[in-house]
Structures are given as C-alpha cells and as structure tokens.
Amino acid sequence: GQNIDQPTEMTATEGAIVQINCTYQTSGFNGLFWYQQHAGEAPTFLSYNVLDGLEEKGRFSSFLSRSKGYSYLLLKELQMKDSASYLCAVKISGYALNFGKGTSLLVTP
C-alpha cells in the first residue's frame, strides 16, 4: 500500500518559524503537493514539488528530497490565521492524489 506520514499535531508561537515534515513510501511518484485546510472549509493549494530542492512562495516554502522520500513545509513569520491543518499529498500516477492524514497546527500568541 501507499504510506504517507505527517505529525498529527504541532504548536508554534506567533512570529516564529515552523517546519512540518512529510515522509512517503509509494509505488510511484509524480509530484508532491501541500494544501492548507481551515476547520470547516475546503483544502486550498499551497505548493507543488516534483524536483529536488526548495520552492519559495512568500512566507511559505516547500522542500523535496525524492531519494529520501521526504518533504517539508516551512512557514515563516507565523500569524494566528495560519492555525489550520496542513495536508501532504503525493501524485502516484497520472491523475489522483494520495493524501496523508494531515497535521493540525495551532499558533499561539
């Protein structure tokens, strides 16, 4: 089967930096996606990595190492509105995504 692991919960302080890790063991790999989901809302697309390295988008960055089956999402200058679940997903074949169970991030004052 496909295995995508993330920590269940994390807590960080407003203004700080937090790193959310994702490890995967899958039968194929065509890219890794990060989504943000606020409680009661739909997931929203944050980032996409298909090659090794770091992709930066404002306060958010995502890193991928295909040889290690590892990715992380880095959130800088944390704000209260960043409290949400962060979902790691791997595209194994051409179309569909396999999601991890998500990491619930709580940002405290």
Q: Which residues are near another protein by CB under 8 A?
A: 30-31, 33, 41-45, 48, 50, 87, 89, 91, 94-102
Work out how close the CB of 97 gets to another protein at its nearest, in angstroms, rounded to a whole number: 6
Give whichever of 36 and 78 is closer to another protein, judged by the CB atom.
36
C-alpha of 40 from chain center: 19
Amino acid (one-letter) located at 90: V
Give whichever of 43 and 69 is closer to another protein, judged by the CB atom.
43
- The three-state secondary structure class of 80 is helix
Q: Whole-angstrom Cα distance, residue 104 to residue 98?
A: 18
